[in-house]
Every structure is written in C-alpha cells, then in structure tokens.
Amino acid sequence: MELYFLGTNAGVPSLQRNVTSVALRLLEERGTIWLFDCGEGTQHQILRSPLKLSKLEYIFVTHMHGDHIFGLPGLLSSRGAQGAATKVTVFGPVGIQSFLQTALTLSQSRVNYPLDIVEHDGGVLLEDGTFKVEAARLEHRVDSYGYRITEKDRPGSLDLDQLQALGLKPGPLYGRLKRGESVELREGEMLHPSQVLLAPKKGRIVTILGDTRPCENVVPLAQDADVLLHEATFMHELADTAAEYFHSTSTQAAEAALQANARQLLLTHFSSRYKDVEHLQPLLEEAKAVFPDTKLAEDFALFPVTRRE
C-alpha cells in the first residue's frame, strides 16, 4: 500500500506542481490502483509515472471544483483508447454523474469498458473482504468529502518453527492452515490454525480529505489513521484568509492529526504563492512544531503506508 502524488497545488497548476490528484497503489493487496481527485493534466502526470491506467479500479472525487475534476473526462476516454477493459467506478458528490455524462457525450468520447458513476452524500461506500471505504462531509464552499480507507485485518503468518517441531514440511497443509482450515496430523489428532498462526496483521487506515476548513468530521475520519492526507493551503499567519476561503492552514492540519492520534501527516494542496519546496519549508516547520511526524507531499513522490507494530 503506497500513496503516489500526481498533483499537490491548489486552484491552478504551476510550473512546479500540478493540481490535485493522488493515487493509492494497492498492487500487493488487490493488483489495482485507486485515484483520489483528478485535476486537469492528471493523465499527463500518469504518463510520467510508474502508474498504469489499466490497473485503475476506483476513482473517489472529493468535490466538484475544477482543480479536482477537470482531468476526469480525458483520463477516462484515454483509458479506453489504451485498450483497458476492466470496470471503473467513480464515486463523487451530487453532480459528478451529470458532469461526466455531459462531457463524454458532447465530446463523442468512447468509453468501451464498464463505467459506473455513483453519487453519494457520505456513509459507507463499499466494503468487501479486504477494504472498507467511508465518506463524511467536510466544510467547504461546495459539498466536499473526506474518505477513510480501512484495510481489513489479515491472518498472521504461520509459526514455521512450531510447524517443523510438529514434523510438518512445507506443502498443501501449510496452505490449508493459512486459509483457516484445521488439518489432521495423525489419526484422530487435529491441528487447528489458532495453534500455529502468529498474531493477525493489523489493517492499515488511510484518510484522504478534500478541501476543508476545520470542522467536526475531520477527527472522526482521521481517528487512529496510519496516514492522514490533509490540505495545507496557507501558513497559519493567513488563518483568517484560510477561513474566508474555506481552507486550512498547516498548523490546523497538524492539530487535527494530533487530536485524531494519527501516525503520520502528509500536507498537500498548497497555494501558488509558495512557489517551490524551499518556500514550503515554513509550512512544514510550523506543522512539525505541533505534530512532529509531518511530511510535505510533492508531485511524483511515493509514500509507503507501513503497518503498526
């Protein structure tokens, strides 16, 4: 599980940063990628990245502002032109269906693979054997949502030393035990998975927030998250400006991470007034003063999501 950034700027692109988009790479867990927002130029960013559109499974849109959605029609049509055939589902606020259907229809774009568009107003969006995705409304000029992605706990590894002590060699029985099946050692003697499986691997939690100023749903969405991705449009000296435009400062993002007991905070969605990484350092420093494990997102940066010990 890894986060790969395709755009970290707010509002409009700059020479240093594209507008918002981030991919959650789940190649080991599902063999797919999930995309969160798709600003203009996202497909160009993907061409310069190791990501493959053929692996795209879900797209989650936080809100309907152009710097988060203008790249969607082009990306979806290009995916079909590249020969991808697997289904893609787009989740987003009310309006996303009309926007995409209008853009694709009037441009006569062909999407020759299954495409579902699901509008929502929060709640549990999907849940299967590996992941659960929930959404809740934030506080922005339009309906904006944050997404909480929870990986289900996975069975622990086999205790190889114990298995060898029991005289079991690697083979089909190992697979059955790993799948939770009991096996017969000798006539009438059963070995149960609980006897030879180590502690379960705790599932990871990633929280990705759309544009927002501080509000009550931020902390529940980010509670105990392994990674919290939070906008930091301005330094805290511009807190009044941030509030006026329904955005957050780097200090406010750090305060949210602290209150939510997150493990790591990634800052993104930077105002164009901060032109390069050097100009972003003050935002990082003031966030780290509140929440030390904070990092700046950069275009084409990869952040692994590690498991808790």
What percentage of the chain has pLDDT greater than the value 70? 99
Task: Give the pLDDT score at 154.
Answer: 80
**pLDDT digits 0-9 by tens, 123-175:** 999 999 999 999 999 999 999 999 999 999 887 788 888 888 777 778 787 87
Question: Tens of pLDDT along 8-22?
Answer: 999 999 999 999 999
Is residue 45 over pLDDT 80?
A: yes
**pLDDT per position as a tens digit, 67-123:** 999 999 999 999 999 999 999 999 999 999 999 999 999 999 989 999 999 999 999
Alpha helices (runs of H) in the chain, residue ranges in sequence order: 42-47, 66-69, 72-81, 96-106, 160-165, 172-178, 193-196, 218-222, 239-244, 250-259, 277-288
229 phi and psi angles, rounded to 5 deg: -100, 115
Give the mean pLDDT of 271-284.
94
Crossing angle of helices 96-106 and 72-81, rounded to 10°? 50
CB-count burial class (<10 Å; 0-12, 13-18, 19+) for 165: exposed
In the predicted model, is pLDDT for residue 46 greater than 80? yes
**Is 23 or 307 the better-scoring residue by pLDDT?**
23
Give the mean pLDDT of the chain: 94
67 is in an annotated binding site: yes
User: What residue segments make up the domains of the chain, in order of their start?
Assistant: 2-154+201-304, 160-196
Give the pLDDT confidence score for residue 200 in this predicted structure.
76
Homologous superfamily (CATH) of 2-154+201-304 is Ribonuclease Z/Hydroxyacylglutathione hydrolase-like (3.60.15.10)
User: Annotated binding residue at 120?
Assistant: no
Q: Which residue has the higher pLDDT, 23 or 183?
A: 23
67, 116, 226, 276: the catalytic one is 67
pLDDT at site 175: 76
Q: 46 φ, ψ to 5°?
A: -65, -35
What is the reported pTM? 0.90
**63 among the known binding-site residues?**
yes
d(CA 85, CA 241): 45
The per-residue pLDDT for 179 is: 74
Q: Is 140 annotated as a binding residue?
A: yes
Active site residue 159: no
Confidence at residue 19, expressed as pLDDT on a 0 to 100 scale: 98
186-215 pLDDT tens trace: 767 888 877 887 777 889 999 999 999 999
Selection from 165, 154, 163, 155 nearest residue 195 by Cα: 163
Residues 6+ apart with CB under 8 A from 173: 183
Q: Is residue 68 marked as binding?
A: yes
106-111 own/partner pairs: CB under 8 Å, 24+ apart: 107/73, 107/77, 109/73, 109/76, 109/77, 110/77, 110/80, 110/81, 111/76, 111/77, 111/79, 111/80
More confident: 154 or 291 = 291
Binding site annotation covers 65? yes
> Could you give the maximum distance between any two Cα atoms of the chain, in Å?
75
